[in-house]
């Protein structure tokens, strides 16, 4: 019989906040660090009393488990939205501002206005509701953890699609991060239109 793992403290954290803020959404991102591809964010609203086994910081969950959790979160969430900021927006705004923009889009896309938005990290986007940041929020709040899973799985799927369009870069292996393989492919094939040129200023300069 398989062992069920429930990180109840994550759900207790949100439940305590719901005494003052009945509708809470958690917000997280995936893909701030990579050299290529859009940055993804997700916003998730869970009802008080909803429990999801194995939910935790998405980086601590196996890829197989994340995919299962993705479907369960979508099924059990009161509302959710996955939003992005494009490579062009990242290059024109910078990655921090682009991430804040994507988070704003995710919250506004919920269809339900939350009383409080919990944002993973140390900054908050400009929202029409009260917000607060939570450092290491994906290991603190169930709502943020759920958002981290949705953002991570959605971005991984997007990078797999990019790998089919640009097979020479092996995006399916490194998801756009600055691995040795990725840099080798950049040196060989140059910068594509899905790469963040502001992240690759030296390569961009060398290619001129």
Domain count of the fold of the chain? 1
Task: Give me the CATH number covering residue 102.
Answer: 3.30.420.10
Cα–Cα distances (Å) from 17 to 6, 11, 14, 25, 26, in that order, read: 19, 10, 5, 11, 12
CA pair distance 197, 37, nearest whole angstrom: 11
Query: Residue 155: its pLDDT value, please?
Result: 97
Q: Is residue 184 part of a domain?
A: no
Q: Is residue 114 part of a domain?
A: yes
Q: Is residue 150 part of a domain?
A: yes
- Specify the DSSP element, H or E, that contains 136: none
Query: Residue 16: its pLDDT value, please?
Result: 97
Query: Residue 99: its pLDDT value, please?
Result: 98
* Beta carbons within 8 Å of 139's beta carbon, 6+ residues apart: 10, 56, 57, 60, 145
pTM of the model: 0.94
CA pair distance 69, 129, nearest whole angstrom: 27
What distance separates the 2 farthest-apart alpha carbons in the chain? 60
Q: Is residue 90 part of a domain?
A: yes
Q: Is residue 197 part of a domain?
A: no
Q: Is residue 68 part of a domain?
A: yes
Q: Which domain holds residue 32?
A: 8-158
Q: What is the pLDDT tens value at each position of the chain, 208 positions in all?
A: 455 688 999 999 999 999 999 999 999 999 999 999 999 999 999 999 999 999 987 888 888 999 999 999 999 999 999 999 999 999 999 999 999 999 999 999 998 999 999 999 999 999 999 999 999 999 999 999 999 999 999 999 999 999 999 999 999 999 999 999 999 999 999 999 999 999 998 775 444 3
């Amino acid at each position: 019989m398989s062992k069920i793992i429930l990180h109840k403290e994550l759900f207790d954290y949100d439940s305590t906040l719901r005494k003052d803020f009945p509708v809470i959404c958690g917000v997280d991102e995936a893909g701030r660090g990579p050299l290529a591809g859009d940055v993804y964010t997700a916003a998730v609203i869970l009802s008080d009393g909803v429990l999801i086994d194995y939910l935790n910081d998405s980086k601590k969950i196996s890829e197989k488990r994340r995919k299962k959790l993705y479907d369960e979160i979508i099924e059990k969430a009161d509302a959710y939205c996955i939003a992005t900021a494009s490579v062009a927006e990242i290059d024109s705004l910078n990655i921090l501002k682009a991430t804040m923009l994507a988070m704003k889009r995710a919250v506004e896309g919920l269809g339900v206005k939350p009383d409080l938005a919990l944002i993973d990290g140390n900054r908050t986007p400009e929202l029409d509701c009260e917000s607060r940041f939570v450092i290491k929020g994906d290991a603190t709040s169930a709502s943020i953890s759920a958002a981290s899973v949705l953002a991570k799985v959605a971005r991984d799927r997007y990078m797999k699609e990019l790998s089919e369009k640009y097979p020479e870069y092996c995006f399916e292996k490194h998801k756009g991060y600055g691995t040795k393989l990725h840099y080798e492919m950049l040196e060989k094939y140059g910068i594509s239109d899905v790469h963040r040129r502001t992240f690759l200023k030296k390569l961009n300069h060398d290619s001129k």
